[in-house]
Structure 1
Amino acid sequence: MKTDTMRAIGQEPSFSALTDREIRCLQLVAEGKRSEEAANVLVLSREEVNQALVSAQEKLEASNLMHAVSLAMLIGVIDHTDPHQPK
Structure 2
Amino acid sequence: MKTDTKRAIGRSPAVSILSDREIRCLQLVAEGMRSDEAANALVLSREEVNQALVSAQEKLEASNLMHAVSLAMLIGVIDHTDPHQPK
* Same-fold status (TM-score > 0.5): yes
Cα RMSD (Å) of the superposition? 1.9
Partner of 2:49: 49
TM-score (norm 2): 0.88
Partner of 2:62: 62
| Cα deviations by residue, 1:29-57 (Å, 9 ceiling, x for unpaired) | 00000000000000000000000000000
CA 24–12 in structure 1, closer or farther in 2 if over 3 Å, else same = closer
Partner of 1:72: 72
Equivalent residues, number: 85
- Tell me the CA shift for residue 15 of structure 1: 8.7
- Give me the whole-angstrom Cα distance separating, in 2, the residues matched to 1:54 and 1:30: 15
Partner of 1:33: 33
- Give me the whole-angstrom Cα distance separating, in 1, the residues matched to 2:14 and 2:44: 29
8 Å CA contact 1:16, 1:59 repeated in 2: no
Structure 2 unmatched runs, 5+? none
Partner of 1:23: 23
Q: Which of the pair has the greater relative contact order for Cα pairs under 8 Å at 6+ separation?
A: 2
The runs of at least 4 aligned residues of structure 1 exceeding 6 Å deviation read none
The aligned amino acid for 1:51 is Q
- Tell me the CA shift for residue 86 of structure 1: 1.6
- Tell me the CA shift for residue 71 of structure 1: 0.3
CA 42–18 in structure 1, closer or farther in 2 if over 3 Å, else same = same
- Tell me the CA shift for residue 85 of structure 1: 1.3
